[in-house]
Chain A
Amino acid sequence: MDSLSTLEKLEILADAAKYDASCASSGTAKKNSLGGKGIGSTEGMGICHAYAPDGRCISLLKILLTNHCIFDCHYCVNRKSSNVRRARFSPWEVADLTISFYRRNYIEGLFLSSGIVKSSNHTMEQMVEAARILREEHDFRGYIHLKTIPEADPELVYQAGLYADRVSINVELPTDSGLSRLAPDKNARQIEGAMGKVKSDIVEAKDAKKRFKNAPRFAPAGQSTQMIVGADAATDADIVGKASRLYDGFRLRRVYYSAFSPIPDASAVLPLKRPPLIREHRLYQSDWLMRFYGYRANEVIQATEKDGNLPLDIDPKLAWALKFREQFPLDVNRAPREQLLRVPGLGVTAVNRIIAARRHRSLRLDDVGKLTVSIAKVRPFICATDWRPTALTDRADLRNLLAPRQEQLELFAA
């Protein structure tokens, strides 16, 4: 196996990492390399150094330490029974590659994950070692995201948090039954236990940092997780409910959704079809509704259809508004912020602009038009000084008027 060149190993281990959705490098503590011996900075805002044709941002060097694995999870290309080529990096190779990419401004840092070799503890040790080399030998001050292994010793997970900006543990599937069916070696309780431990470590470290200047940082960019959508029978309602419990229970920064992609050498228990990208998109929209628009999980679930899934042809906010028409129209000159945020077509920026502008004058429909992207979608749900939607809000065919044309969607809707 050692006969593979760095290039070949990189190909295999990056290819194996591409099913992980997260590549964020934002929201961590500010660092720079002025006056030090090292290299790197993080300034709060993440930077996407490139975009792949799949529309995903490439911010970090996202690789596996190895794609050898003793687990046998059906949705995973690296599972024990899969016939893929295997490769393995040493912690030093990972660190050197990260630094040489970073110096050329290709990346913000490293996102290291791994298949499980020998044991969970051994693998976690190797990952922590790669992070340690970067931080201590190279004095690297860029971003590090470590995927931690729930089965590993909590002490090792704690070490990971000391070196990394963000740690994550994948819940993998939205329901426990899905997990036991598709990831027979994993255990939902163990995963949540590990997330709970990381949460309390983060809280503790933050508290210590307030009181002691030199207290060590622990995962300043928090923890996140990922769920695979479309590999099992879970509905959007199940998924949104699960995400909301995770946000509340473990104070996660993000829950990522990954539309299940057909993987080479797939297991026969999985659907083999185009990944449900539109569904993934709708779930992210619902995630936004909960994080930035003040919707509660049960309100998002109200927007789902009879089968428990969000409609694919319209976004969840519009779906909710169409179901609860009695709450509209809202007067843009009077309605409070949290209500305006519920108007389909008004984003956070537009609402802020409306609130700032209405201090100066009463807004007409035309003024609102200047502050938003499209007035057509907003019109049925608002009143302005010169505009009342009268019967428009209650029209039975309102959904058809507002939904984008169907034909475009069909291709991806499967």
Chain B
Amino acid sequence: MEESKLLIEDKNIVTPGDILAEGLDYLPSSGCYRTGNIIKSKYFGVVRIKNRYLSVIPLAGAYMPKSGDGVIAKISDIQTTFWICDINSPYDAILQIGEVAEEYIDLTRTDISSFFDIGDIIYAKILNVTKSKNILLTMKDYRARKLIGGRLIKVTPSKVPRIIGKEGSMIELIKNKTGCQIIVGQNGIVWFKGQNEALAAKVILMIEKEAHIPGLTDRVNAFLDKFSNIKGEKL
């Protein structure tokens, strides 16, 4: 049998069609595909190697919903028994009334806009994604709630893991130093509220721009320290 060859290293930058490995010993994970004996990249992105599994994390692209993700959604329409939500993805999500209220609701007497109205921002969990991309949301999660006030910014969905950091270290750091409440949706929408909103926005946009450069935590720390003495002031 032919010997398998790895042609790239971890964290290399690849373009679509770049050959990652030859031979059958390596397996394509997300972001790459196999043709015959070779594994090729699908995206312009960064390679990740985990034992035998190769994957490519794209540097840009639309958000693809996964069940279990926490997302920040905007109510875009109200129907009789459900809400239609915009989750910053090519597909709309549906939030059914049973996933919002614990008790029985008599729909002949209640207007469900008393729960959520058009334009409201919510943090919800994705309950299920079918093969034909019908997405169901749920509010039956300890983190799920309606977000009142605050600001929203959009970032590239593939960079959300860097904003959160290892076990939430990065987001914890920003929360502590700015004193803001921050919620990051897996769909690339960040909500924050507090005194130092402008600083928080700047830091998040900086992380998005430099997400792939090593030593990010130190730079974020230095950036925040620069402004820590003017805490409370508007920037």
A and B co-occur in one complex: no
Residues of chain A having any CB pair with chain B under 8 Å: none
